[in-house]
Structure 1
């Protein structure tokens, strides 16, 4: 495990062919989402026709990365019935797809026989893992990088198995 963790945008900008993300929590409490989640709970919804109001600069970074030929896939393992937070994520996922991400959802009951790492992660070009650590209440507890071949293999295998079983976003209802 390496201690020095590059900025996420730096990792994505250096990706050459792929970036995959596995999310396994039913809720997150990261600071940058608290306001939008509260607004969503109060009835606010993103307007598909108002791209300027979408989450920036994240979506710009995704669009730029996909335009360079990098395939970005995200899979989410979720408990059902889904939490309010997952309904919030689902309602805004169209923005990620519009930016170029491919997204699928896997009901947790269909993941019981998959060897999964203990934390959410990004895997860049099948060689660098960036784990996202969270506290019990979902706040960010900081990232961790790893290039250990065994860990990379576990993450790659877990992601691909989840991806194969998961439901494409446009077919998954919450």
Structure 2
């Protein structure tokens, strides 16, 4: 058995606009991958860099419906690094909004895996909140949020 997290949030825009806010590197870099940005669009079969040290290996992109990728999930108690799977789905709602669901799976059932699920659940929740603020109101909630940015430290992925 492996650990996973699953969360959802409603974004008050049509599904194509919300989907584009994730696959478009300029938009994603405006609210989520602000420290260093996203290197390229999410396209199946490619590896995109989020921040300077977070390669995202994109395995599936179904426009306006689903994105699947793998990335480094953490370090097991044995010291070995391993990858987790992230699935993002975009469901159009009757009111014109979009339900975004993010599920990340594949952590090991150990203390490090449990810590990874907690940290990434926090990170994905923050991502959905930042996406909502950016897509609906053109506000970047992450600007100035991380002390490392304020200190001028190298761009790195948030703790995962």
Does the TM-score normalized on the shorter chain lie above 0.5?
no
The structure in which a higher percent of residues are helix is 1
The structure in which a higher percent of residues are strand is 2
Normalising by structure 2, report the TM-score. Answer: 0.29
